[in-house]
């Protein structure tokens, strides 16, 4: 605990008091219409992304992490409805802006990369054409300039011989190269926020590490803020300065990465950390979190994690806990926190 | 190894035709001259990236696909020479656990039918005995025996994988191929299934071939690890040796690529490039174009897998000359902080919810 606390001081505090966060998600609630009624996919999510910073959203299936990112991008499909909340980008609420303005921001100031690059690239056009199109959709530049910029982008994402790759179709590229091409396209209009939704999950281990390094470079060198979404808390901690932990549609804990992995206050975060196989000495069983993620149609009345929680008490079955602060920038939604009391 | 291994694989090859007119587009060597043993009660982890041939290897051993060449002996008996009907009866000793618990269970069968089916096929415990055996198996994998009348869709992903494991255990096999058994599951559920597989393996003394791309999962369950790259084994060693002193540059690269739960510091040197296509693999050592230590010899001459007396085998011309490996990230090796360890203890103390009824 002391070691992790020490690390926290060395970390740059990206959200300084005098600057407004680039993105502020406030009380975001999203539900989906299904045959069995409305299903809450995101419940009152609250978090910030500082300009030029990197925030990781960690969660399992049904946690609402991807729905949150789609809401930010304005890409939620017909069955989804945003009930409440604000998504403030540079202070302006994306949910209240006219469609035309949102469209200009999307792909421009905010862009996104997805898990499966093959399904996000159009197989009928060359990689270069698609990136050029992204540039020209947002800026009035000539074909010549757009082409030069595209080649430069391909070079920046470390695609070898970019002039040649420009004319290749996506199926000719390997999985890692495709994801790089996607990243190049996402960077085409110099976004201030890049949302990366499980960007490495479909990639091989060694290629995954390369893509994470590339994202780190982009954040450092171009000052692009990154919202990194993953089920892998280890991967997130290696890149993000802050972590938001989501469970069953709600934010259960958020804070600086060193705090979250060194001094977690929500039992779910504790369980997630214990579920990662480590190479420590000894032969202890892993910590599986018993049970499964709850059915979003039948959420427990109190704390959504209560049925799986080894620390829960009567209050947890009755009242849903609210996010409350435990340290600077560190908040958790748990009646039992700080967990020292119950450990 | 002095005693006869449970499974002995020698020079196993599988070439797939690439199609084209009269097979004119050539072949791809998905599995290219694999040799390894698995001892009784041993878990061998088979690690590699996509397209390296690890899943094909598992299927070849079970003869779900037929090898192009090579030998597979189970308890000294040549499996490849068996005709189909003998192979069927042999298969009760050799089972498979699939990656995706959503597509590997028949949705129109109850759990009783799914787990009981292998018992019927092999005429074990016919009649009323089957329910008793199914109940026993469900309890063994941490599911409620009263739920045997339910259908797969009524269970979560982790529970379905438990059903798949119960089905594989139904005939008390001696050997199970686990093909990426946790990679389709949520992280918290992966741990439950890894714990279950490890417990079952130990209690029943089964041998496992545990196929995975996740080295840390392999470390947790396997006694020995085999690392595969483009159809060939590049290193085979006891688990501790692979994680303490990996010899092959590719094994090191895999270990260096494990995302460690630590706040970003400087990263280790990463492998350049992607996996080459197995259709047109590089000459010599397949790994040489991505290897930081490659020499002219590596491009010309394929290294053979050479064993040492400690059972540590590596296929690399230069493993003795390369610089010392820096080791796993300390974030993966140091004991967890005392506070976190205390909190985690509470998760361990809690009895399995599903076994007690859910």
Task: Tell me which chain A residues have a C-beta less than 8 angstroms from the C-beta of B216.
Answer: 276-279
pLDDT, tens digit, 9 for 90 and up, residues A254-305 = 999 999 999 999 999 999 999 888 888 777 888 888 888 888 888 999 999 9
Closest chain A residue to B47 measured between Cα atoms?
A205
pLDDT at B199 (0 to 100)? 94
pLDDT at B127 (0 to 100)? 63
SS3 A108: coil
Nearest chain A CA: its distance from B141 CA (Å): 13
pLDDT at B126 (0 to 100)? 61
Task: Tell me which chain A residues have a C-beta less than 8 angstroms from the C-beta of B347.
Answer: 270-271, 274, 287-290, 310
Nearest chain A CA: its distance from B333 CA (Å): 4
In this prediction, residues A166-191 reach a mean pLDDT of 90
pLDDT confidence tier of residue B331, bands split at 50, 70 and 90 = confident
pLDDT at B84 (0 to 100)? 84
pLDDT at B198 (0 to 100)? 95
Cβ distance of B353 and A291 shorter than 8 Å: yes
Task: Tell me which chain B residues have a C-beta less than 8 angstroms from the C-beta of A239.
Answer: 264
pLDDT at B250 (0 to 100)? 95
Query: How would you list the strands of the sheet with A324-327, edge to edge?
Result: A110-113, A193-197, A225-230, A54-58, A242-247, A250-256, A330-332, A324-327
Round to whole Å and give the CA distance between A213 and A193.
17
ipTM for the complex shown: 0.86
pLDDT confidence tier of residue A117, bands split at 50, 70 and 90 = confident
pLDDT higher than threshold 70 for residue A146: yes
Q: Which of residues 215-254 of B touch A (CB under 8 A)?
A: 215-217, 219-220, 243, 253-254
Query: Would strands A80-89 and A23-34 be described as parallel, antiparallel, or unpaired?
Result: antiparallel
pLDDT at A5 (0 to 100)? 39
| Of residues A275 and A118, more confidently modeled | A275
Query: Would strands A110-113 and A193-197 be described as parallel, antiparallel, or unpaired?
Result: parallel
Rg of chain A over Cα atoms, rounded to whole angstroms, equals: 21
Closest chain A residue to B51 measured between Cα atoms?
A204
Closest chain B residue to A213 measured between Cα atoms?
B267
Round to whole Å and give the CA distance between B67 and A133.
48
In this prediction, residues A27-50 reach a mean pLDDT of 93
Kindly write down the DSSP assignment for every residue of B160-188, as one continuous string: HHHHHHHHHHTT--SEEEEESTTTTS-HH
pLDDT at A4 (0 to 100)? 40
H or E stretch including B156? none
pLDDT at B137 (0 to 100)? 95
Q: Which of residues 48-87 of A touch B (CB under 8 A)?
A: 60-61
pLDDT confidence tier of residue B351, bands split at 50, 70 and 90 = low
pLDDT, tens digit, 9 for 90 and up, residues B223-282 = 999 999 999 999 999 999 999 999 999 999 999 988 887 765 555 667 777 778 778 889
pLDDT at A7 (0 to 100)? 40
In which residue are the tokens 């909190």 written?
B343
φ/ψ of A165, rounded to 5, equals: -65, -30
Running DSSP on this structure, what letter comes out for residue A218?
I
Closest chain A residue to B213 measured between Cα atoms?
A205
Q: What is the mean pLDDT of chain A?
A: 89
Cβ distance of B191 and A275 shorter than 8 Å: yes
Other CB atoms within 10 Å distance of the CB of residue A169? 15
pLDDT at A118 (0 to 100)? 75
pLDDT higher than threshold 70 for residue B30: yes
Cβ distance of B263 and A288 shorter than 8 Å: no
Of B49, B253, B349, the CB nearest to A310: B349
Query: How would you list the strands of the sheet with A37-49, edge to edge?
Result: A37-49, A23-34, A80-89, A92-93
pLDDT at B51 (0 to 100)? 82
pLDDT higher than threshold 60 for residue A12: no
Closest chain A residue to B252 measured between Cα atoms?
A206
Total CB pairs under 8 A between chain A and B:
200
pLDDT at B268 (0 to 100)? 62
B156 touching A, CB under 8 A? Answer: yes
Kindly tell me the burial class for residue A208, based on how many C-beta atoms sit within 10 Å of its own C-beta (0-12, 13-18, 19 or more).
buried
pLDDT at B353 (0 to 100)? 45
Percent of chain A with pLDDT over 70: 94
φ/ψ of A57, rounded to 5, equals: -110, 120
Kindly write down the DSSP assignment for every residue of B317-329, as one continuous string: TTTTTSPPP--S-
pLDDT at A87 (0 to 100)? 96
Q: Which of residues 17-36 of A touch B (CB under 8 A)?
A: none
In this prediction, residues A325-330 reach a mean pLDDT of 94
pLDDT at B2 (0 to 100)? 53
pLDDT at B276 (0 to 100)? 81
H or E stretch including A112? strand A110-113
Task: Tell me which chain B residues have a C-beta less than 8 angstroms from the C-beta of A261.
Answer: 261-263
pLDDT at B267 (0 to 100)? 58
Q: Which residues contact A262 (CB under 8 A, 6 or more apart)?
A: A1, A3, A4, A5, A7, A8, B337, B340
SS3 B108: coil
pLDDT at A6 (0 to 100)? 39
Angle at B50 between CA B46 and CA B56, to 5 degrees: 60
Reported in sequence order, the residue ranges of B182-248 that DSSP labels E, i.e. its strands, are 207-212, 224-229, 232-238
Percent of chain A with pLDDT over 90: 64
Nearest to A209 by CA among B260, B330, B103: B260
Task: Tell me which chain B residues have a C-beta less than 8 angstroms from the C-beta of A4.
Answer: 337
In which residue are the tokens 């982790």 written?
B158
In this prediction, residues B88-107 reach a mean pLDDT of 89
pLDDT at B24 (0 to 100)? 63
B99 touching A, CB under 8 A? Answer: no
Round to whole Å and give the CA distance between B77 and B6.
10
Closest chain B residue to A292 measured between Cα atoms?
B156
For residue B253, what are its two tokens?
């690269």
Write down how long chain A is: 343
pLDDT at B21 (0 to 100)? 66
Omega into A338 within 30° of 0, i.e. cis?
yes
In this prediction, residues A306-333 reach a mean pLDDT of 94
Task: Tell me which chain A residues have a C-beta less than 8 angstroms from the C-beta of B291.
Answer: none
Distances (CA, A) of A156 to A71, A121, A201, A228, A298: 29, 19, 22, 20, 47
pLDDT, tens digit, 9 for 90 and up, residues A188-235 = 989 999 999 999 887 888 888 888 999 999 999 999 999 999 999 988
Q: Which of residues 290-349 of B touch A (CB under 8 A)?
A: 328, 332-340, 342-344, 346-349
Of B156, B189, B271, the CB nearest to A206: B271
pLDDT at B357 (0 to 100)? 37
Among A306-315, B98-107, B108-117, B164-173, name the one with the lowest average pLDDT.
B98-107
């Amino acid at each position: 605990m002391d070691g992790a606390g020490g690390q926290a001081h060395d970390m740059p505090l990206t959200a300084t008091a005098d600057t407004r966060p680039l993105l502020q998600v406030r009380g975001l609630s999203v539900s989906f219409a299904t045959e069995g009624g409305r299903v809450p996919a995101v419940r009152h999510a609250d978090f910030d992304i500082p300009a030029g910073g990197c925030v990781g959203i960690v969660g399992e299936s049904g946690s609402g992490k991807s729905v949150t990112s789609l809401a930010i991008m304005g890409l939620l499909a017909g069955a989804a409805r945003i009930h409440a909340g604000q998504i403030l980008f540079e202070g302006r609420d994306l949910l209240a802006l006219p469609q035309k303005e949102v469209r200009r921001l999307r792909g421009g100031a905010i862009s996104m990369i997805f898990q499966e690059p093959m399904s996000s690239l159009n197989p009928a056009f060359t990689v270069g054409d698609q990136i050029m199109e992204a540039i020209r959709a947002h800026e009035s530049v000539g074909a010549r300039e757009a082409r030069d910029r595209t080649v430069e982008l391909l070079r920046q994402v470390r695609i070898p011989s970019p002039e040649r790759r420009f004319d290749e179709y996506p199926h000719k590229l390997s999985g890692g190269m495709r994801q790089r091409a996607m990243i190049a396209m996402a960077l085409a209009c110099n976004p201030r926020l890049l949302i990366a939704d499980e960007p490495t999950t479909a990639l091989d281990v060694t290629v995954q590490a390369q893509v994470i390094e590339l994202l780190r470079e982009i954040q450092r060198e171009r000052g692009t803020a990154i919202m990194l979404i993953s089920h892998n808390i280890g991967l997130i901690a290696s890149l993000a300065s802050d972590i938001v932990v989501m469970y069953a549609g709600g934010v259960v804990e958020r804070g600086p990465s060193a705090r979250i992995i060194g001094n977690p206050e929500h039992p779910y975060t504790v369980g997630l950390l214990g579920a990662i196989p480590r190479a420590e000495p000894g032969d202890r069983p892993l910590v599986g979190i018993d049970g499964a993620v709850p059915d979003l149609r039948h959420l427990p009345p109190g704390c959504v994690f209560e049925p799986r929680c080894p620390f829960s008490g009567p209050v947890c079955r009755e009242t849903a806990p609210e996010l409350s602060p435990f340290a600077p920038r560190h908040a958790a939604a748990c009646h039992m926190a700080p967990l020292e009391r119950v450990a | 190894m002095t005693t006869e291994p449970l499974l002995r694989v020698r020079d196993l090859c599988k070439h797939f035709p690439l199609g084209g007119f009269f097979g004119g587009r050539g072949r791809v060597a998905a599995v290219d001259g694999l040799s390894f043993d698995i001892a009784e009660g041993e878990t061998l982890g088979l690690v590699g990236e996509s397209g390296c041939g690890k899943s094909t290897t598992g299927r070849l051993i079970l003869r779900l696909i037929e090898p192009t060449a090579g030998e597979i002996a189970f308890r000294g008996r040549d499996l490849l020479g068996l005709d189909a009907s003998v192979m069927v009866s042999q298969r009760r000793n050799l089972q498979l656990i699939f990656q995706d618990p959503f597509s590997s269970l028949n949705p129109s069968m109850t759990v009783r039918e799914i787990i009981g089916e292998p018992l019927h096929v092999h005429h074990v415990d016919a009649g009323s005995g089957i329910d008793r055996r199914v109940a026993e198996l469900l309890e063994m994998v941490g599911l409620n025996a009263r739920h045997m009348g339910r259908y797969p869709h009524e269970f979560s992903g982790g529970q379905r994988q438990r059903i798949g494991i119960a089905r594989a255990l139904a005939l008390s096999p001696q050997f199970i191929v686990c093909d990426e058994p946790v990679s389709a599951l949520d992280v918290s559920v992966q741990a439950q299934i890894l714990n279950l597989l490890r417990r079952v393996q130990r209690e029943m003394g089964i041998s496992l071939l545990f196929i995975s791309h996740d080295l840390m999962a392999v470390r947790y369950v396997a006694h020995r690890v085999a690392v595969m790259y483009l159809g060939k084994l590049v290193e085979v060693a006891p688990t501790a040796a692979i994680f303490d002193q990996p010899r092959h540059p590719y094994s090191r690269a895999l270990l260096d690529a494990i995302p460690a739960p630590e706040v970003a510091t400087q990263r280790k040197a990463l492998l350049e490039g992607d996996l080459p296509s197995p259709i047109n693999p590089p000459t010599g050592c397949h790994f040489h174009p991505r290897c930081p230590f490659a020499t002219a010899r590596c491009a010309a001459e394929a290294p053979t897998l050479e064993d040492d007396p400690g059972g540590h085998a590596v296929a690399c011309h230069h493993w003795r000359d390369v610089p010392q490996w820096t080791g796993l990230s300390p974030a993966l090796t140091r004991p967890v902080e005392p506070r976190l360890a205390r909190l985690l203890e509470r998760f361990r103390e809690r009895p399995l919810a599903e076994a007690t009824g859910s």
